[in-house]
A and B are shown apart, each in its own frame.
Chain A
Amino acid sequence: MKNRSLVSISDYSKKEILHILELAAGFESNPNQPLMRGKVVASLFFEPSTRTRLSFDTAINRLGARVVGFTDASSSSTTKGETLKDTIKMVSNYADLIVMRHPLEGSARYASEQSKVPIINAGDGANQHPTQTMLDLYSIQKTQGTLENLDIFMVGDLKYGRTVHSLLMALSLFNPTFYFVAPKEMSIPREYKTFLKNMGIRYFEQNEMGNLEKADILYMTRVQKERFSDPMEYERVKNTYVLKNAMLADTKDNLKVLHPLPRVNEIHPDVDANPKAYYFEQAENGVYTRMAIMSAIMGVK
Chain B
Amino acid sequence: MSKQKQLQVSAIENGTVIDHIPAASLFDVISILGLDHISNLITFGTNLDSHKFDKKAIIKVADKFFERDEINKISLVAPHAKLNIIRDYEVVEKRDVTIPDEVIGIVKCFNPKCVTNNESIITRFKVEDKIDLALKCHYCEKNTTRDELQMM
Query: Chain A: interface residue count, which band?
Result: 10 to 19
Number of interface residues of B (CB under 8 A): 17
Contact B143 A106 (CB under 8 A): no
A109, CB-defined interface residue at 8 Å? yes
A264, CB-defined interface residue at 8 Å? no
Assuming the contacts A8-B141, A109-B138, asked whether A85 and B111 have C-beta atoms less than 8 A apart, the reply is no
Contact A105 B114 (CB under 8 A): yes
Q: List chain B residues, Cβ under 8 A from A128.
A: 141
Q: Give a binary string over A102-140; 1 marks a CB under 8 Å from any B CB, 0 the rest.
A: 111111011000000000000011111000000000000
Contact B143 A85 (CB under 8 A): no
Q: Out of A83, A103, A106, A126, which one reaches B139, CB within 8 Å?
A: A106
A191, CB-defined interface residue at 8 Å? yes
Of residues A84, A104, A106, which shows the largest number of chain B Cβ atoms within 10 Å of its Cβ?
A: A106
For the complex formed, measure the closest distance between the CB of B6 and the CB atoms of chain A, giving whole angstroms.
42
Of residues B109, B116, B140, which shows the largest number of chain A Cβ atoms within 10 Å of its Cβ?
A: B140
Assuming the contacts A125-B113, A126-B113, asked whether A105 and B140 have C-beta atoms less than 8 A apart, the reply is yes
Q: List chain B residues, Cβ under 8 A from A110.
A: 115-116, 119, 121, 139
For the complex formed, measure the closest distance between the CB of B130 and the CB atoms of chain A, giving whole angstroms.
15
User: In the complex, A228→B146 CA distance in Å?
Assistant: 26
User: In the complex, A110→B109 CA distance in Å?
Assistant: 14
B interface residues, Cβ below 8 angstroms from A: 109, 111, 113-116, 118-121, 137-143
A interface residues, Cβ below 8 angstroms from B: 8, 83-85, 102-107, 109-110, 124-128, 191
Which 10 A/B pairs are nearest by Cβ-Cβ distance?
A106-B139, A105-B140, A106-B140, A106-B115, A104-B115, A107-B115, A109-B139, A105-B113, A110-B115, A106-B114
